[in-house]
Amino acid sequence: MAEVVLVTTSELQAGAKLDQFTIVKPIGHGAFSDVFLAEDPSGHQVVLKCPHESIMGDVSTFDRFRRELEISRHLQHPGIQRPIEFTADRSRPYMVMEYVEGETLRALLSREKKLSVDKAVDFGRQLAAAMAYAHSQGVVHRDLKPENVLVTPDGKLVVTDFGVAFMAGARRLTWRWFSTALGTPDYMSPEQIQGKRGDARTDVYAIGVMLYEMLAGRVPWEGDNALSVMSQHINAPVPPLHEIASEVPPPIDGIVRKCLRKAPDERYEDATSLRSDLEHWRDLPLSQFIFGDEQIVSPQRSDLQLILLIFGISAAFLSASIFLIVLAYLIGHAH
């Protein structure tokens, strides 16, 4: 039997070949995979999504990529990146996606810091429209963040990366919680932090965080580590947007706060309702955004166990790092 030679992501530089595709350049790096701009044999540009070499060849990696392709193919919307194909080679899975010209919303925010009210509202409306369609097809993204949103030169948004999405009726895969299983702390809803699957209101929450960031130039909750940020999502009230960005009209402030309610039942019931309010915000009565004191989400036993597990593993990594440093020092001085 011929030896299987895996092409690692570190080897995929400009000019390298991956099957029939020629790599043009790397364009993205995530916790689970790397993304490359490439050309097919006819010269058309495509995007290749390749898992990190540390998990390449793992059966679950193949299953995850296959499920992401199945979910993405189920979605036909101009605001969602379109998949093209998926390799059948279990030892070297990768996905081929349509190329969308532009940059990520993260790159745009890094350059402009914050957006005008009109631009932020338009972007929020586009995100809500794409997610409203996905939700109508039974798909919840669960990892919406600026890194997973592309902005075209004419200002159109395209949502990408359905790697941790959930589709009604789909087989649930076991994800490593310490990678992308829970999402990204800055944009995770309280129910995600509690380890729950989440529903359309989970994506509404993430859109609310992005709206806040686009308007204020920062996310609602910041911290020195993931634990601090996750704790604030559960326990801390939303920092008043109007105190950070006084130019934000009260109705927009109210829409963002409604998205960011701790309890899912107090948020927009779906992205369709959010989209409608963003389109007609000038006509909205402020009374609909008046709530009582914001309630925190009380940690459950499973949440405390999760926090302790995160702390324990972090401590283990730190101890291992110190041990390796000391060991290297002793070996070096022994010679």
List, for residues 147-165, the tens digit of each pLDDT value: 999 999 999 999 998 878 8
Angle at 119 between CA 116 and CA 121, to 5 degrees: 105
User: What pLDDT was estimated at residue 300?
Assistant: 47
The answer to whether residues 25 and 64 belong to one domain is yes
User: What pLDDT was estimated at residue 62?
Assistant: 65
- The token pair at 305 is 């166990």
Which stretch of DSSP H or E encloses residue 151?
strand 149-151
The residue among 297 and 136 whose pLDDT is bigger is 136
User: Would residue 271 be called left, alpha or beta, if left means φ above 0 and alpha means ψ between -120 and 50 degrees?
Assistant: alpha
The answer to whether residues 130 and 249 belong to one domain is yes
Count of domains observed in the chain: 3
- Among candidate residues 180, 186, 181, the one with its CA nearest the CA of residue 224: 186
The answer to whether residues 154 and 230 belong to one domain is yes
Cα-Cα-Cα-Cα dihedral sign, residues 325, 30, 48, 61: positive
Whether 75 is covered by a domain: the verdict is yes
The verdict on whether 143 is a catalytic residue reads: yes
Q: How many CA atoms lie within 13 A of 77 on its CB side?
A: 24
- The token pair at 260 is 């960011």
Which DSSP letter does residue 74 get?
T
Catalytic residue among 34, 143, 161, 199: 143
CB 77 within 8 A of CB 134: yes
The answer to whether residues 59 and 185 belong to one domain is no
Residues 266 and 164: their CA atoms lie apart, in Å, by 25
Range of the domain at 324: 300-335
pLDDT digits (tens, 9 = 90+) for 87-101: 766 667 788 989 999
